[in-house]
Amino acid sequence: MYSNAIKLIFKTVLVLLLSGCAAGRAYLPDDVPPMHTVSEFSDDENVSRTRDPWEGLNRSMYKFNYEVDRFVLLPVVAGYETVVPRTARTGVSNFFANIREVRTFYNCILQAKGKKSLVTLGRFVTNSTIGIGGLFDPATAFGMRREHEDFDRTLETWGVGTGPYLVLPILGPNTARSAGGLAVDGGVRWAIANAIDPFGGTGASTEIETGVTALETVDLRYRESFRYYDSDYPFEYYMVRYLFSQERELKILR
C-alpha cells in the first residue's frame, strides 16, 4: 500500500508539471544598469491580484526548481532533442495535447461553456481517429480551435478567490487556488486512466505508465522556452511573479 501511494504521488507530480525551470545563471555586468527597477515589479498596485505573504518559502522553491531544472530536466531535454527527430517530437506533443482535451472538455461543461465543450469534443474525436491517436492535429486544419480550460478556471467561474501566490516544487508559479485546481485535474486524470486501464493486459502496466508520464514531463519542459536566471535581471523573482499576474489577467479577459 505504501509503495502504491509513493507511485501515485510521483505520477501526479510529473503529470502536473507546468513550469519551466533554469539552464544557466546570468548576471548584469557591473557597468550596465538594469532596464527596470525592482519596485516596478513588486509594487502593490501591479501585483494586486497576486499577494505574496509566503515570499520566503516561495523564494526557496524558486531556487529549488532552478537546481532541479539545471541538473535534471534540462540535461534530459537536451538528450531528447538530440536523439528524437523533430517530426517525432511534434507527434509526441500532439499526442499529449490531445489527451489534455479531456481536461478542457469536462471543465467547459462545469463552466457551462456549451460551444467550447462541443468544439473540444470534436477536436478530441477528430484527432483520435483521423489524427491516428492524436499524433497529428487535423482538427486545427479543419478550423476547430484548441481551447484551454482547467479546474482553476472552473473555480474562478464559481467565484472562488485566487488566494496567495505560491511557487510549488517542480510545478512552479501558481496561486493557492490554481494549486488546488492542479490537484483536482490530476486526480480526475488518474481516476480516468485507472478506469480505462489501457495497459492492463501487458503485464507491465506500472512500468509503461511511468514511462509515458516521464515522456510527457520531458515534452512539457521541451516546449517551454523559459529559463530561470537567463533574463539579465538581478530581481528575476519579482519579474516572474509580475508576469504570472499579467498572464492571469489576460486569461480572465479571454
- What pTM was estimated for this model as a whole? 0.78
Task: Quote the cell numbers at residue 21.
Answer: 525551470
Under 8 Å between Cβ of 70 and 22: yes
Name the average pLDDT for the chain: 82
Please check the confidence at residue 178 and state whether its pLDDT lies above 60: yes
Q: Which residue has the higher pLDDT, 254 or 47?
A: 254
Distance, in Å, from the CA atom of 14 to the CA atom of 17, rounded to the nearest integer, reads 5
Q: What is the mean pLDDT of residues 160-168?
A: 94
DSSP H helices, the chain, are 2-15, 38-42, 55-68, 74-83, 86-110, 114-129, 138-141, 151-157, 176-196, 205-222, 236-253
pLDDT in tens, 27-50: 333 333 344 444 554 544 444 457
